[in-house]
Amino acid sequence: MNSKFKPLFESFSLSSGVELDNRIVLAPMTNFSSHEDGTVSDAEIAYYERRSNGAGLVITACTYVTPNGKGFPGEFAGDRDEMIPSLTRLASAIKGQGAKAILQIFHGGRSCPPELVPNGEIVSASAVAEEKEGSVVPRALTDAEIEGIIRDFGETTRRAIEAGYDGVEIHGANGYLIHQFFSPHSNRRDDRWGGDVNKRMTFPLAIVDEVKRIVAEHAKQPFAVGYRFSPEEAETPGISMDDSIQLVNTLADKGLDYIHVSLMDFWSASRTMDDNRPRIEIILETVGGRTPVMGVGSIHTADDALKALETGVPLIALGRELIVEPDWVGKVADGHESEIKTTLTKDDQERLVIPDPLWNAIINTPGWFPVV
């Protein structure tokens, strides 16, 4: 190994006691490849095994915590105890390759396709549709339903513990239900679940508290809890950087194992603040060392990862990069970082062990992946 990359391979201890072998994380990415009944497929297992033999931590694609939260075709389920064997199979595949396994837990809210949820009924914080063509106006959840979904996040966490995961990541990013409650665009409520920025935090924080309560009650060994969020959104009114600073400041005192900043570009600057620094630096300053911050976004090479680590972010997540180059970590460890592939071709599916639905999305979504 080139000695300058040693910091990427230093071990890291999460506050829960989960020990990571290195600083590289497989980011959570939907692969559309589970069975219709919500169980994990053989193709998914092979895909994760191919990418779990180098990263210190693997975060799965999101699993839905309740039937009306299924956000994608081919998404695997965590909403009932019958899914524990399926969840166990995935955790075992990841851990069998040496990585720690984190289950990302999720509700799609107004982003769910009607054909994937019971009776085609889409729900959200308020009856406000997404700003995109063909969007359905969701039904606003009742107080009792909101309480039920909070419990569902806890119950899926219990299943993750029973299935052998090393932790869960609460998916509060990318426009899904938790994000929808925090956003002034999608949350127009005037009860205890909506209003000013502090009231819009009520639902996300209630989920954090419930998940942590379940972990304290059920986990017999170290079990991590992370939280993923998107710092800003394009809608007006939308989540601003100031809103997110307040959220992060609160989350940093919640005893989480990490806060995961969902960005397309690690170094991107704020759209809503008069501060030209990268958003990740503003977030690190806000957190002030109280909780580890995980960064992600267009980190392609070992030099990119090292530069990101030098900001003070202790964990670097790679998404598309580990799809294109499953041996990314091994090549850096062996001193072959110059051989890391950063593009793929239409003939690479079998070599890269990518399931058909994900491969079709990669090939047919221009600009998403560097296909040459």
Count CB atoms within 10 A of the CB of residue 7.
14
**3-state secondary structure labels for all residues of 256-293:** CCEEEECCCCCCCECCCCCCCCEHHHHHHHHHCCCCCE
Q: Are 256 and 209 in contact (CB under 8 A)?
A: no
Q: The tokens 């075992």 sit on which residue?
A: 92
Residue 177 to residue 156: CA distance in whole angstroms = 16
CA–CA separation, 165 and 59 (whole Å) = 10
Spatial distance between the Cα atoms of 352 and 48, rounded to a whole number of angstroms: 11
CA 264 from chain centre, in angstroms, equals 13
The owner of tokens 């939280």 is 227
- The token duo for 313 is 């972010």
* Whole-number Å distance between alpha carbons of 233 and 183: 8
Q: What are phi and psi of 293, to 5 degrees?
A: -110, 135
Q: Which amino acid is at 99?
A: A
Instruction: Round to whole Å and give the CA distance between 104 and 292.
Output: 18
Quote the CA–CA distance of 203 and 156 in Å, as a whole number.
17
Half-sphere exposure of 58 (CA within 13 A, CB side): 29
Cα–Cα–Cα angle for 194, 200, 203, rounded to 5 degrees = 95
Residue 59 corresponds to which amino acid? I
Q: Which residues contact 364 (CB under 8 A, 6 or more apart)?
A: none
Q: Give the three-class secondary structure for 20.
A: strand
Instruction: Specify whether the CB–CB gap between 311 and 284 falls below 8 A.
Output: yes
Is 227 known to be catalytic?
A: no
Q: Which of 47, 48, 165, 176 is catalytic?
A: 176
* Per-residue tokens: 20: 């990571």
Catalytic residues: 176
